Chains A and B, each alone.
Chain A
Amino acid sequence: SAVISQKPSRDICQRGTSLTIQCQVDSQVTMMFWYRQQPGQSLTLIATANQGSEATYESGFVIDKFPISRPNLTFSTLTVSNMSPEDSSIYLCSVFKGDQETQYFGPGTRLLVL
């Protein structure tokens, strides 16, 4: 399996500010993703975090709002910029382990924007 940690686990932020979420994996992985789960909803893919190049964003998500870094194969950050109450969600990072044919998720970061 993969052990994934996220920081912070939760936060309450004021609108207009930014928050950077960290994701750390216990082993090197090629495929790393960021998902959002809005209250009472399913998960939506924000972007694929690419090591050594710019992230690949899904429709409806842009780099200016959700900048992502991936400096190496075990770490990534997602920033939620210029936050509004609509950004209140759980943000989860995940990794795909090809040798185990499985995608694992971190515990999530619960964000509340006031």
Chain B
Amino acid sequence: GEDVEQSLFLSVREGDSSVINCTYTDSSSTYLYWYKQEPGAGLQLLTYIFSNMDMKQDQRLTVLLNKKDKHLSLRIADTQTGDSAIYFCAEIRSNDYKLSFGAGTTVTVRA
């Protein structure tokens, strides 16, 4: 099975908050990342969190990490139409820096 799991779809009304959830299995992961991929585009790093942190906030983005449950979430405040994209959660292994990706959550923002 996959090491990183995400729900596949999220629909949100413009102006509301979006919450994307992710679970991972490798307890030795040192960093966890959120990437954004818009249609036809490459991967854009949104934010990351170090494994010894519980929360990280960066403008409209809030990352929460529950290390005990191996659960990661990304909250986007005041979601805009430009936030429509696929969001990938990824964990990195400390010994070789390889990334394991989730399947990606497709976020659709409706007016």
Which residues of A approach B to under 8 Å, CB–CB?
A: 31, 33, 35, 41-45, 48, 92, 94, 96, 101-108
Question: CA A107 – CA B48 in complex, angstroms?
Answer: 19
Write out the residue numbers on chain A whose beta carbons fall within 8 Å of the beta carbon of B43.
43, 92, 105, 108
Which residues of B approach A to under 8 Å, CB–CB?
A: 31, 33, 35, 41-43, 45, 48, 50, 88, 92, 96-104
**Minimum CB–CB distance for B90 against chain A, Å:** 8
Q: A92-B42, A92-B43 given as contacts; is B101 within 8 A of A42 (CB)? A: yes
Question: CA A96 – CA B33 in complex, angstroms?
Answer: 12
A-B pairs under 8 A by CB, number: 47
Asked whether A103 lies within 8 Å of B97 as measured between CB atoms, the reply is yes
**Minimum CB–CB distance for B110 against chain A, Å:** 21
Q: A42-B102, A94-B99 given as contacts; is B88 within 8 A of A105 (CB)? A: no
Write out the residue numbers on chain B whose beta carbons fall within 8 Å of the beta carbon of A92.
42-43
Asked whether A96 lies within 8 Å of B48 as measured between CB atoms, the reply is no
Write out the residue numbers on chain A whose beta carbons fall within 8 Å of the beta carbon of B99.
33, 35, 43, 45, 94, 103
**Minimum CB–CB distance for A91 against chain B, Å:** 11
* CB nearest neighbor in A for B104: A42
Q: Is the interface of A mostly helix, strand, loop or mixed?
A: strand
**Minimum CB–CB distance for A68 against chain B, Å:** 15
Q: A42-B88, A42-B103 given as contacts; is B42 within 8 A of A103 (CB)? A: no
* CB nearest neighbor in A for B103: A42
Write out the residue numbers on chain A whose beta carbons fall within 8 Å of the beta carbon of B41.
107
Q: A33-B98, A43-B88, A43-B101 given as contacts; is B45 within 8 A of A102 (CB)? A: yes
Question: CA A33 – CA B31 in complex, angstroms?
Answer: 17
Write out the residue numbers on chain A whose beta carbons fall within 8 Å of the beta carbon of B97.
31, 96, 103
